[in-house]
Structure 1
Amino acid sequence: MAIEIKAPQFPESVADGSIAAWAKQPGEAVERDELIVEIETDKVVLEILAPADGVIKSIEKNEGDVVLSEEVIGYFEAGAAASAAPTASAAPADSEEDVKVGNVVMSPAARRLVDEHKLDAATIPATGKGGRVTKEDVVNFVANKPAAAPVKAAEKPAAATINVAPGEKVEKRVPMTRLRKVVAKRLVEAQQNAAMLTTFNEVNMKPVMELRKQYKDLFEKTHNGTRLGFMSFFVKAATEALKRFPAVNASIDGDDIVYHGYQDISVAVSSPKGLFVPVLRDTDTMSLADVESTIRDYGMRAQSGGLGMDEMQGGTFTITNGGVFGSLLSTPLLNPPQTAILGMHKIQERPMAVNGQVEILPMMYLALSYDHRLIDGKEAVQFLVAIKDLLEDPARILLEV
């Protein structure tokens, strides 16, 4: 019996989506919960999984086609895989040729992650049926082996110059993805529709670094492997500063100012498919461990396309960290309808004057971009100074002083 493959129910803020890629073609066998199609919306890439073992009977919407909520995009035939089972067992290399790397069999989603991260498929522990590598296996492998990817990545530049004649100018034209189009549109709107200014300061990271060094092992042991990073300190410092300066936590809705009595902080996360900004809800009630584990989970799922739309909606303030890529100073763009965004940067040792003496200290430049229509320069500067003071004396975060 044929089962309809439908687009998911999009939230009210998302009008439609488009077919990003079909992982399976008509006639191909599919296992239960295996990826069959990806749908890209304005905010996230959604995965549709097989409801049971079977085969793809037909495809009604091709890659690039626009689809509406719950629109039929194809048909799936449950149980049909049983008739193809003898062939599959007799010649697994032929029937699953598109998901076999060397002697390793993996799902299409897992193979895409392996290719993106330039991993050796044979080194990934498999937990799937019959020794099959699943997407979760790859995600866990990447999370636990962060140093493995850069080694392979170093080979990429050499591959890009193969078969290019001296003096030849190579160009490649590809359509902009739906997600990238929306990001580009909103970044331009943020500049056109707000009176955006940026104020800067610098923070001595030595107190936080010493605190982290002293307790990181005990912290990780106490909180079941959650590592203590810098972002949790910034989130907690920003939360306390937002309480003191409500305008920075507010938003503009037409001719009204909406003051939020809670702190939902968006955290910018980079992924191969674009920039995602998932939200930490009620950061006032979150511990440092809660912040770190949630951000780590968001980062892993952003890499694999597993973030949900509800996790990226809302937010009253944003933090972005360009320092992880080596940025020393930048002017971050607003994330509408929010009215402020904090930019973190690279920690770099610099000579600083301390009590008449020169000391080498690990310093970080901070940037606060804000909407001058709502936030005055005095408030913006005082807000940034409050974050600086809290970070340079972390005990203030605990004491809320």
Structure 2
Amino acid sequence: MQLEQYIDRRKTHSVKWFIEDQDILPLCIADMDFQVSEEIVHAISQKATHGIYGYSTFCARYYDAVEYWWKTQYDWELKKDWISFSPGIIPGMNLLLKALTKPGDAVIVQDPVYYPFFSTIETQGCKILTNSLLYENGTYRMNFEDFEQKASQPNTKMFILCSPHNPVGRVWTSEELRQIGDICERHGVLVISDEMHGDLTYNGHKHIPFAKVQPKHLSISVTCAAPSKTFNIAGMQSSIFIIPNKEIKEKYEELLIGYGLMRPNAFAVEGTIAAYYKGLPWLQEVKGYLESNLRYVCSYLEEHIPSIKVVQPEATHLIWLDCRNLGIPPEELHTFFLEKARVRLDEGTKFGSGGYGFERINIATPREVLTEALLRMKAAIKERESM
């Protein structure tokens, strides 16, 4: 695998690279600019050459592959009856909220956080309760006192946990997860744990599934995951919802079927099976490359743009940049990088009030693309400072 190889994606219907201005470099949207593993390509090619792309369903091999991955990677033995499907994490979350809440109910999120959480809650007519993360000494931690206060409110029904956290990159410890789980159990709050980035941890860190920390938390948990971010196959639209609570699972799947979302696309099953059984060597190589890119970004910014501080991530290929020392108003920051540096990042303000003065950059790209983006950012900032 040649991760250094630049592959032009501009004419491939890529959301990330679908830009009218061909000069802009997109380091946003959480997919990778790396080709997937040969094993996945082979599995999809075989399916493609079969020549019939009718309705698909799940088979024993699929469930075995999902169970195999969670057992070998996290020492968590899933039961087949827990495993459900969604074409994506956010569609599935919408269904969960629709099935289990009513307008006016409250849902807790920990901002700055993945911004579709906000629209998901609002779409279902629920109230957003923000339990803002505390940013201290270059890292983030949970505010448990504030969390319990919000969880104890009578209309609080759910908590959407981002684990590992996007965009700040924290891998929550077993003690943090246990404490959160105990609070939610005391107050009857369901935990929707988005663990999409769990496989993309950095050296020295290990993702812990929320529902595995304490068996008593199984019944108040829904674990959302997918091979999408891990193996760069988000376009297959195949997410996994692990729902041990039978009643919750039945309510969720009733809506899933009712909206006609219960079937995977023609390539999702074979792609997932190949990823989980044969994709680990590819993933290990990619993680090594991401580690190298992370070191490079940190070193470059420290030397050339010291006003931008990297919030050191423990997971994800999405790096949270503290740009507050640039002296650029938060509402102008994203536009500055887009128009002056010709680099598209993810706008920090979208992630909640805790994102003001921050931007998110995707480092899952060949080094030459990353280098060009950093050079452009440096030049734009230097020009601004000279004015």
TM class by shorter chain equals: under 0.3
**TM-score when scaled to structure 1?**
0.22
Structure ranking higher in strand proportion? 1
Where relative contact order (Cα < 8 A, 6+ residues apart) is larger, the structure is 2
**TM-score when scaled to structure 2?**
0.23
Structure ranking higher in helix proportion? 2
Larger Rg: 1
